[in-house]
Amino acid sequence: MSAESTELPPRRRRGNATFWLGLILVGVIVLAGIVSFFWTPYALSDMAGGRLEAPSAAHWAGTDRLGRDLFTQLMIGARIALIVGCGAVAIGAVIGVATGILAAFATRFLDDALAAFFDILIAFPTLLIAMLVVAAREEASLGTAILALGIGLSPIVGRITRILTKQVLGQDYITAARVSGTSWGAIVYWHILPNIVPFLGVNLALQFGLAVMAEASLSYLGLGAPPPNASWGRMLQEAQGTVYTAPWGAVLPGLALFALVIGINLLADGLRDRFDPARRDG
């Protein structure tokens, strides 16, 4: 420990600051999402307020065109953003890591084929893939959106996993493990996964942010979770027509989206700085 703290004090401090800022941003949104299950200021479809009211003590974030409370919608939007982000990243990670490791281990032909496949899928816009999946399922639902975004993210995760795995495979400790008779399965579990996760984790956080934004885009296009679910993307779409008369309707969900995405990235960065015991490249 002592060697570590004398080594790089400035970077450590910076790591701490980003970590805490990220934790606070993400923490507030996660809290809002969890609380929304038990309590919201108003019911989602409760048209109690006047039309397009400005933020006030009664309606902390104002109201929309139908007089519904925007703060309630923001809280439920937080829940949906988190569910979509976690779900999409989980699906993307499982598919991506599995195919990425397969590609890294494969013979030259299969490896090339998978690498090309990843590249083609990446060049294909995630949103378009998501729209195709939604079209194929013939209905827009939260589950469809999660599945679609997860599939859309998987080639990015796959490509990074493939490269990281190849890097680790070239290390001496893999040769050392093989020399002592470790099977490939055990090498993947004990040596490859732990060594790619610190790098992959940061990227998955980035993907989480992209998934949340892509969900907002899908909802904006009417392909996300159907009403009455309030997603930040749908809030943006509904506020579109009144952005000049009631700007808070668009600004607040936009800010929430921004805070979540930047918070996740800072948190991931800070976590990597804290918990990567090797920090090989200083």
**Is 12 one of the binding residues for other proteins (CB under 8 A)?**
no
**Mask for 189-228, x = binds other proteins (CB under 8 A):** -xx--xx--x------------------------------
Which residue in the set 39, 109, 277, 281 belongs to the binding site for other proteins (CB under 8 A)? 277
Site stretch for other proteins (CB under 8 A), options 28-36, 182-190, 212-220, 265-273: 182-190
Q: Rounded to whole angstroms, how far apart are CA atoms 128 and 89?
A: 18
Handedness of CA 131, 26, 262, 270 (dihedral sign): negative
Residue keyed to tokens 């490859």: 192
Cβ closest to other proteins, residue 51 vs residue 178: 178
Cβ closest to other proteins, residue 38 vs residue 108: 108
Joined together, the tokens standing for residue 38 give 């038990």
**Is 11 one of the binding residues for other proteins (CB under 8 A)?**
no
Collapsing DSSP to helix, strand or coil, 55 comes out as: coil
Site stretch for other proteins (CB under 8 A), options 188-196, 213-221, 226-234, 250-258: 188-196
**Is 136 one of the binding residues for other proteins (CB under 8 A)?**
no
Q: Rounded to whole angstroms, how far apart are CA atoms 234 and 215?
A: 10
Cβ closest to other proteins, residue 10 vs residue 282: 282
Which residue in the set 6, 38, 123, 172 belongs to the binding site for other proteins (CB under 8 A)? 172
Q: Rounded to whole angstroms, how far apart are CA atoms 265 and 180?
A: 39
**Least Å distance between CB 118 and other proteins?**
23
Q: Rounded to whole angstroms, how far apart are CA atoms 203 and 156?
A: 9
Which residue in the set 45, 112, 128, 173 belongs to the binding site for other proteins (CB under 8 A)? 173
Collapsing DSSP to helix, strand or coil, 221 comes out as: coil
Joined together, the tokens standing for residue 96 give 């991506």
Upper half-sphere CA count for residue 105 (Cβ side, 13 Å): 12
**Is 176 one of the binding residues for other proteins (CB under 8 A)?**
yes
Upper half-sphere CA count for residue 193 (Cβ side, 13 Å): 13
Residues with Cβ within 8 Å of 88's Cβ and at least 6 positions away in sequence, in order, are 146, 149, 150, 152, 153, 207, 208, 211, 214, 215
Q: Identify which of 94, 92, 112 has the alpha carbon closest to the alpha carbon of residue 104.
A: 112
Which residue in the set 124, 175, 227, 255 belongs to the binding site for other proteins (CB under 8 A)? 175
Which residue in the set 139, 180, 244, 281 belongs to the binding site for other proteins (CB under 8 A)? 180
Site stretch for other proteins (CB under 8 A), options 11-19, 80-88, 111-119, 186-194: 186-194
**Least Å distance between CB 179 and other proteins?**
4
Collapsing DSSP to helix, strand or coil, 277 comes out as: coil
Q: Rounded to whole angstroms, how far apart are CA atoms 194 and 187?
A: 10
Which residue in the set 11, 12, 178, 274 belongs to the binding site for other proteins (CB under 8 A)? 178
Binding site for other proteins (CB under 8 A): 1, 3-4, 171-173, 175-183, 186, 190-191, 194-195, 198, 276-278, 280
